[in-house]
Amino acid sequence: MQLHEDDLKMHLEPISSDRMADVVEMRLREYFKKKSFKPGDQLPKEIELATALGVSRNVLREALSRLRMLGLVDTRKKRGMVLSMPDVLGGFQRVLDPLIMDDDTLQDLFELRLVLEMGLADILFISITDKSLRELETIAKNEVKGDKPIFRIKNEIAFHGKLYEIAGNKTLKRFQGMLLPVFEYVVRLEKEFISGKVTHRDLVEILKSGTKDDFREGMYEHLKPHFGRLETLKKRPTS
């Protein structure tokens, strides 16, 4: 039944949600694509677009405002509009508030973080250098111990963020940084934080002299409490 519903949603989009701005936004995006505009290219003026689409400048501007928000178009007075390179994570960031997400999505993002951490190993081992390893070690050794959540979050962001940085992937680093608060939120919902047996310092040691598989195993142990939680959750049919 659930699958059937999803299938319906996939093929049958809700008909005209009655908002012109929605349609205009879509049409504009299609237009840009069809004309294969590239970043930097000049776009027609507002009035031209509005009349061409048969809507008021007002509605057009509502749609443009969206595209501007996403960084897809850039507008300056007199100079007109140009297509530009959007920030891929911008739209994601604006919506990532744990308080306004449904539980399933919250759970999905929780798992997403685990997937990222576990999957990072391969790229990490390709990119790591002695220098970056030393920097990581410094971070791990400077960690402030204490039960206070603020410290733990700071440590987590610093250490794991550094891992992504070493992997040389700015987008991934930002992504993970955005995901962490959600992750912490879920953890705190459930129960008191139980730390894994493998610490950040242990992970550094593994990186120094261990293999890729060792690291994966270490990371798994580091995240073990969370995986444990998953196991009890996934086995029994949710909702």
Partner DNA sequence: TGCTTTTATATGTCCTACATAACAGCTTAT
Partner DNA sequence: ATAAGCTGTTATGTAGGACATATAAAAGCA
Site for DNA in 79-138 (CB under 7 A): 79-81
Give the nearest distance from C-beta 14 to DNA in angstroms: 12
Give the nearest distance from C-beta 145 to a copy of itself in angstroms: 26
Which residue's entry shows tokens 């444990």?
228
Site for a copy of itself in 90-109 (CB under 8 A): 90-92, 94-97, 99-102, 104-105, 108-109
Question: Per CB under 7 A, does 236 bind DNA?
Answer: no
Site for DNA in 50-79 (CB under 7 A): 54-59, 61, 64, 75-79
Q: Candidates 16, 36, 209, 239: give the one binding a copy of itself (CB under 8 A).
A: 36
Site for a copy of itself in 166-225 (CB under 8 A): 167-172, 175, 213, 216, 220
Binding site for DNA (CB under 7 A): 18-21, 43, 45-47, 54-59, 61, 64, 75-81
